Structure 1
């Protein structure tokens, strides 16, 4: 499930995902990011994962999202991924090279620091 967080403003998209992530969730997420990338020089992303297992992510959606990241990597500003599992940290490190400013992983207990970091110049 995708939830848009109230911290979303200007060039920052703040989302929380939990339980399961399907193609429709990824489509909504990508459309929001694409809109920000069209309006601003860079789009910042705060991506919080709660109670999400790797098996909860649609394989098709994950591949489509990976392709989006490769195509639009230079349109990203800071990206903070917040999670609670080792595979989530691994995923952040895997996609970091295709993002203009990389990806920084934060533990769920550090979500306030992650939000402050992603908003910092």
Structure 2
């Protein structure tokens, strides 16, 4: 399931993924992000994962392809999670994004949000 967080504004998309990431969830996320990328020079992303048990393989592949195609349109990207595989996923996708991906543990959520909003 995908939830658009209230911190979403201007050129920043903030989402929370929970339970299972489906193709429909990814389509919604991708359309919002693509819209930001068309309106702004770069789009910042806050991506939080809580209790994510499964990512549908097609959604994962589509997400990877979107990242490769639009990697230079990303600004700061924070990935917040609670499992080791999520940290590995952040490291795996980091090279295709212009400024990489910074991973934060769920306990560091506020720090991650501040970094995405304000930078260093």
TM-score (norm 1): 0.97
Q: Distance in 2 between matches of 1:20 and 1:101?
A: 27
For residues 52 and 38 of structure 2, the distance between their equivalents in structure 1, rounded to whole angstroms, comes to 30
Where 1:100 maps in the other structure, the secondary structure is coil
Unaligned runs of 5+ in 1: none
SS in 2 for 1:87: helix
Structure 1 stretches of 4+ with a deviation exceeding 2 A read none
Which runs of no fewer than 5 residues in structure 2 stay unpaired?
none
Deviation, 1:96, is: 0.2
State how far apart, in whole Å, the 1-side matches of 2:88 and 2:74 are: 19
Aligned equivalents of 1:6, 1:95: Cα separation in 2: 25
SS in 2 for 1:114: helix
**How many angstroms apart in 1 are the aligned matches of 2:44 and 2:6?**
14
The structure with the greater share of residues assigned to strand is 2
Q: Paired residue for 1:119?
A: 117
Match of 1:94 in 2: 92
Shift of 1:120: 1.4
Distance 1:47 1:68 in 2: 15
Match of 1:108 in 2: 106
1:29 to partner: Cα distance: 0.2
* Match of residue 51 from structure 2: 51
The CA RMSD measured in Å over matched residues stands at: 0.5
**SS in structure 2 opposite 1:51?**
strand
Distance in structure 2 (CA, Å) of the matches to 1:64 and 1:51:
21
